[in-house]
Amino acid sequence: MQEQTPIGPVDATRVPRYGGPATFARLPRIDEVSRADVAVLGVPFDSGVSYRPGARFGPGHVRAGSKLLRPYNPALDATPFGTQQVADAGDIGVNPFDLGEAIETIDREVTTLRADGAQLLTIGGDHTIALPILRSLARDHGPVAVLHFDAHLDTWDTYFGAPYTHGTPFRRASEEGLIDLERSLHTGIRGPLYSKQDLEDDAVLGFQVIRSDDYEVDGVRSIVERMRARLAGGPVYVSVDIDVLDPAHAPGTGTPEAGGLTSRELLNTLRGLVGLDVVGADIVEVSPPYDHAELTGIAAAHVGYELLSVLALNRAPA
């Protein structure tokens, strides 16, 4: 049976970019295609934040920023919408008052979407959502390597005694056996910590650390080499907290830290994932109330575009 040609974005030469469907990159909705190779899923949830709220409005804001995306990615010589069917799966309804129920809902909905083999690019929402996504993936893949872009470790134990927050998902995931302890990596870490013990605990949980300052000292090429060496040999989940970027590039986030990556550094690093077994990804912590001129939403949309390009190239025949 002949494969169906993917349905791509609305043609921007016929419909202005500020018009058309309010989907990611103006792609079809998931109910408009027979099946999706990649589903873009929104999770409007920020009940796990510890500082500034607003990430519950992130999915819509990133979709708005994605109207500028075009079908061909010259940096990777990729057509992310032409060689795979990408569709927008909309937003899932998550209980904003019961964090435990919210985590269960995300796990269930993610598992349902993945049932026919679709990969997910999830747009949050706060970083709490990474835990239920990893639970779903681990049931199929076993422990996965986590490539975590963030200013913060997100492996703290509790906040005010609460074990499930946006600062704890990767500790819980490590404790539950969801993470490959020999292959996981934080990238972009910077800023003050509570104590030196935070780093010592983090290493036990399975992570190596590439600091934001390493980009200045070593350069992107060296970072990519270290990243690929660490991640090789098995499935990889990519989790991008937009606060990995400097506030100059992403002011619209809940816990900004000075001294972060530039958009160019992040996008170039993501391109280094081609050829690795990426099984899913998320983009989290975009908080529109603190954004200016859509800087953060546009940056996040381009992060999604690079991740979709990587998935397309990884899916292509060798």
* Residue 61 counted as an annotated binding residue: no
* Residue 152 counted as an annotated binding residue: yes
| In contact, 249 and 294? CB cutoff 8 Å | no
**Residue 236 identity (one-letter amino acid):** V
* Residue 282 counted as an annotated binding residue: no
* Residue 241 counted as an annotated binding residue: yes
* Residue 11 counted as an annotated binding residue: no
- What sign for the dihedral angle of Cα 60, 61, 64, 69? negative
| In contact, 309 and 77? CB cutoff 8 Å | no
Q: Report how far residue 49's alpha carbon sits from residue 222's, in angstroms, rounded to the nearest whole number.
A: 33
Dihedral, 141, 142, 145, 148 alpha carbons, nearest 10: 90
Between strands 235-241 and 145-149, the pairing is: parallel
Between strands 145-149 and 207-211, the pairing is: unpaired
The DSSP annotation for 297-312 comes to HHHHHHHHHHHHHHHH
| In contact, 298 and 58? CB cutoff 8 Å | no
* Residue 77 counted as an annotated binding residue: no
Q: Report how far residue 167's alpha carbon sits from residue 153's, in angstroms, rounded to the nearest whole number.
A: 8
DSSP 286: B
Which of 178, 179, 187, 154 shows the shortest CA–CA distance to 168? 154
Q: Give binding residues for Mn(2+) as ranges.
A: 127, 150, 152, 154, 241, 243
Q: Which residues are annotated as a binding site?
A: 127, 150, 152, 154, 241, 243
